[in-house]
């Protein structure tokens, strides 16, 4: 580890502006302007933030009247599409002479080395070589071009030919062949020649997909009271509490302070639930039989669909529910008898639709809308993002003795997640995929992450493997100018136990389009979160706990999609470990606070220089301004605000031209100590040896000792202020109250302007009239007693 990064490395960590060729630009040429390429340039807004990539598409629809094998008397047909060295196959059907495949193949134009496209129909043979049925051949120069939004090319029937291509044979196949771009509707679901080596279930994990986060609700369970609580021990009254469970979330009420058969709590328990509601609310009433033993009194399971969905702060109706007594082992006859005298519990349960369920930190939140769709406002803008490519990626795994990377990109904004296709075995992958989001609040952040796909061999090959992190980028929409296209290359930085590492660069193009400027201006004075967060706020601990539960639910639901957006990917995008202790982050936050006070410190230094006449001209000008403000006090506030206006106009010339990005210096990542990084990546609870834990504990004790001293000094100064009038030091208090009386009389008989003038001239007096010793008020204050001498 080198604490000081070299200038070259610092440049690598910076944002770079790029100039890609964006928009749909079609090359000239073609036969009579119709075949081959369109003869004029065409630019549309559908895919105007990515570089165009051209593909040959082959849609295999179905076959008809295919011949049977003379030996077996059946036909198990499949289609093989061959273009140069690339071969793609459809699935095979057993004993079908009229099969329907409905599959699309896409071949990258950059890698086409053949002038002929061959489509073979073969009969699958389980023992020997597959039998040849027929083929269709296309000349690449005659393939038409399709440009969205034109309607899809209609497939046609083609007669099959023999091996030499001279004679027609029995059977027909319906095909459509055209040249298009990644804007084509067939692109996402097509078989790609780039991923020809992927087999089995891994085929699904290389495709681009759009995911939607599950609809999350806060479930508020207000446990009011219970009645007729009976326990096995009839000699003493029960002292009970209620335990509620939704899925893996378990919360408990406080123990009822008194022993009674009718306990009262009136406590709110908050859970996170996702639609469709798969879990039930399970409530158990338990008796504290002994300090180490809880005795089950009763239990009830309730479907979440039974509860009311609340859209405002008005209370919902409460309900009584009967509990099943003493667990699950009662006989049916006994249970019917028991339910006549069942323990009852009084609840007020509702699904909160007016809250926004937080699954990410409010520091870089991407959505602020409440759960209930009825409460959503109109969008204020459109965010378009073109994920162009990555450059200089590092090898993430070893395959056949060499390093390789199979990269894909994930973007998350609001409820919508997108995943690009996986580019196999490339350190400079080109995706060129464009996505669009509706923007409901400009003060939000879009997050993009790049990952290495470790599941290309299907579930059997890499079921336990995790997709590796390559890097992450955040873009705050409020820092973007409207209707401007930004094209930048973002460094992909990852902090590892060995130190800060640049994994490559991600090239993006994005544009924020404003739909309603008046609405955006209105939002700047509107609360960030829905109003229920302020009318009935959660505690800090509740917010953190609920956010963690929401992240777990979102990760679990998205990992069940096809292809799955895996748990490790979702957790990295949502910053699941952002709350964990880090010495590096603590230092970074401390220096952020220091930088905030740097302006105040510089102003105080400037005032000190003025008062000490370091620059006589400046001191004289300050004296003149001071006299003007004393005689015309109504100019004070206008002068302050006019000064801030002028500073803002002046700073406009030096405004940031590029959006912000991950700052390694601000994050304190360049000069971090190796042991601090090792501690940051430690598990919780720790898994380190005892001597390392003891060393880190001693280090934290030394830091905490300094903090303790600073806090003690602050407390001492505050107690000295209290001692002015507390008569703890009778002589000091006597002097102070006599001084206050004299000052009160002087201020009463003296005009306020004169007082300010004298005070200002005294502060700005020449150094000739100053003493190097502390002033009398400062000496008096430091002699006042504090309570530090009363501490053990």
Pairing of strands 116-123, 77-83: antiparallel
The average pLDDT across 460-473 equals 75
Q: In whole angstroms, what is the distance from residue 293 CA to residue 288 CA?
A: 6
E strands, 615-725, are none
Confidence band for 463, pLDDT divided at 50, 70 and 90: low
Return mean pLDDT, the chain: 85
- pLDDT band for 310, please (50, 70, 90 cuts): very high
Identify the pLDDT of residue 3: 42
Q: Are 172 and 77 in contact (CB under 8 A)?
A: no
Alpha carbon distance 212, 234 (integer Å): 54
Q: Would you state the pLDDT for residue 271?
A: 95
Q: Which two tokens stand for residue 433?
A: 């995929």
Closest CA to 699 of 579, 792, 586: 586
Q: Is the pLDDT of residue 195 over 80?
A: no
pLDDT band for position 189 (cuts 50, 70, 90): confident
The 10s digit of each residue's pLDDT in 197-253 is: 776 666 777 888 899 999 999 999 999 999 888 877 777 788 889 999 999 999 999
> At residue 185, does pLDDT exceed 60?
yes
State the pLDDT at residue 363.
86
Query: Is the pLDDT confidence value at 28 over 70?
Result: no
Is residue 304 within 8 Å of residue 280, measured between CB atoms?
Answer: yes
pLDDT band at 445 (very low <50, low <70, confident <90, very high): very high
- Mean pLDDT within 660-684: 81
The pLDDT tens digits for 514-540 are 998 999 999 989 999 999 999 999 998
Report helix, strand or coil for 504: strand
Q: What is the pLDDT of residues 548-606, one digit of tens each?
A: 999 999 999 999 988 889 999 999 999 887 777 788 888 888 888 888 888 888 888 88
| HEC readout, 614-629 | CCHHHHHHHHHHHHHH
Q: Give per-residue pLDDT as tens, 59-94.
A: 999 998 888 877 777 888 899 999 988 888 888 888
570, 559 contact by CB (below 8 A) = yes
Residue pLDDT, tens place only, 619-651: 889 888 888 888 888 888 888 899 899 999 999
Tell me: the pLDDT tens digits for 30-51?
A: 333 333 333 333 334 467 888 8
Interacting residues of 705 by C-beta distance below 8 A, sequence separation 6+: none
Read off the pLDDT of residues 604-620 as tens digits, 9 standing for 90 and up: 888 888 888 888 888 88
Say what angle helices 616-631 and 752-763 make with each other, to 10 degrees: 170
Exposed (0-12), middle (13-18) or buried (19+): which is 234, by Cβ within 10 Å?
A: exposed
- Look up the pTM and report it: 0.81
């Amino acid at each position: 580890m080198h604490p000081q990064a070299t200038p070259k490395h610092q440049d690598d960590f910076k944002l770079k502006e790029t100039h890609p060729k964006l928009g749909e630009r079609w090359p000239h040429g073609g036969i009579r302007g119709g075949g081959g390429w369109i003869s004029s340039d065409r630019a549309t807004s559908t895919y105007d933030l990515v570089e165009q990539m051209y593909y040959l598409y082959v849609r295999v629809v179905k076959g008809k009247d295919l011949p049977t094998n003379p030996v077996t008397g059946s036909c198990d047909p499949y289609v093989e599409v061959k273009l140069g060295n690339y071969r793609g196959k459809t699935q095979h059907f057993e004993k079908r002479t009229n099969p329907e495949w409905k599959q699309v193949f896409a071949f990258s134009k950059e890698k086409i080395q053949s002038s002929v496209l061959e489509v073979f129909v073969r009969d699958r043979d389980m023992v020997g070589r597959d039998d040849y049925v027929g083929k269709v051949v296309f000349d690449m120069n005659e393939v038409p071009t399709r440009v969205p939004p034109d309607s899809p090319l209609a497939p046609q029937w083609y007669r099959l030919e023999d091996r030499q291509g001279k004679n027609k044979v029995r059977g027909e196949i319906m095909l459509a062949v055209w040249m298009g771009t990644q804007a084509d509707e067939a692109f996402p679901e097509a078989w790609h020649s780039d991923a020809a080596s992927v087999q089995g279930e891994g085929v699904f994990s290389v495709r681009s997909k759009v995911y939607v986060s599950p609809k999350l609700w806060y479930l508020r369970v207000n446990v009011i009271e219970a009645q007729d609580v009976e326990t096995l021990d009839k000699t003493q009254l029960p002292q009970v509490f209620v335990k509620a469970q939704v899925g893996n979330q378990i919360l408990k009420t406080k123990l009822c302070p008194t022993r009674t058969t009718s306990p009262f709590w009136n406590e709110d328990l908050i859970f996170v639930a996702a639609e469709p509601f798969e879990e039930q609310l399970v409530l158990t009433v338990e008796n504290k039989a002994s300090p180490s033993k809880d005795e089950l009194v009763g239990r009830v399971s309730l479907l979440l669909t039974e509860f009311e969905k609340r859209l405002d702060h008005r209370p919902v109706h409460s309900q009584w529910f009967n509990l099943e007594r003493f667990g699950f082992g009662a006989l049916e006859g006994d249970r019917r008898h028991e339910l006549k005298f069942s323990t009852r519990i009084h609840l007020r349960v509702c699904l909160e639709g007016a809250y926004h369920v937080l699954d990410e930190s409010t520091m870089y939140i991407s959505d602020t809308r409440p759960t209930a769709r009825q409460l959503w406002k109109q969008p204020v803008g459109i965010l378009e993002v073109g994920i162009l490519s990555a450059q200089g990626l590092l090898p993430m795994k070893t395959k056949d003795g060499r390093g390789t990377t199979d990269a894909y990109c994930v973007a998350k904004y609001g409820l919508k997640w997108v995943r690009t296709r996986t580019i196999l075995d490339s350190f400079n992958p080109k995706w060129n995929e464009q996505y669009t989001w509706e923007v409901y609040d400009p003060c939000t952040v879009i997050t993009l992450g790049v990952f290495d796909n470790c599941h290309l061999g299907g579930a059997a090959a890499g079921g336990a493997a995790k997709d590796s992190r390559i890097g992450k980028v955040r873009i705050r929409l409020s820092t973007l100018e409207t209707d401007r296209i930004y094209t930048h290359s973002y460094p992909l930085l990852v902090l590892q136990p060995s130190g800060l590492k640049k994994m490559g660069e991600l090239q993006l193009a994005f544009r924020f389009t404003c739909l309603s400027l008046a609405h955006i201006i209105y939002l700047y004075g509107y609360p960030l979160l829905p109003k229920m967060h302020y009318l009935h706020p959660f505690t800090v601990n509740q917010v953190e706990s609920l956010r963690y539960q929401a992240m777990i639910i979102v990760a679990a639901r998205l990992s069940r999609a096809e292809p799955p957006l895996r748990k490790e990917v979702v957790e990295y995008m949502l910053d699941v470990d952002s709350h964990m202790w880090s010495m590096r982050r603590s230092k970074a936050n401390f220096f952020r606070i220091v930088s905030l006070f740097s302006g105040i410190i510089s102003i105080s230094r400037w005032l000190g220089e003025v008062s000490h006449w370091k620059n006589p001209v400046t001191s004289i000008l300050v004296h003149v301004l001071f006299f003007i403000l004393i005689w015309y006090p109504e100019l004070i506030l206008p002068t302050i605000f006019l000064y801030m206006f002028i500073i803002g106009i002046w700073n406009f010339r030096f405004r940031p031209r590029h959006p912000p990005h991950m700052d390694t210096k601000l994050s304190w990542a360049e000069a971090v100590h190796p042991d601090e990084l090792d501690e940051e990546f430690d598990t919780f609870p720790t898994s380190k040896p005892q001597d390392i834990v003891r060393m880190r504990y001693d280090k934290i004790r030394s830091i905490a000792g300094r903090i303790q001293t600073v806090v003690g000094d602050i407390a001492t100064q505050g107690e000295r202020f209290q001692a002015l009038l507390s008569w703890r030091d009778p002589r000091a208090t006597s002097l102070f109250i006599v001084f206050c009386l004299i000052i009160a009389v002087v201020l009463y008989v003296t005009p306020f302007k004169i007082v300010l003038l004298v005070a200002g001239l005294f502060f700005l007096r020449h150094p000739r009239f100053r003493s190097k010793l502390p002033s009398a008020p400062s000496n008096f204050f430091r002699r006042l007693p504090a309570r530090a001498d009363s501490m053990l």
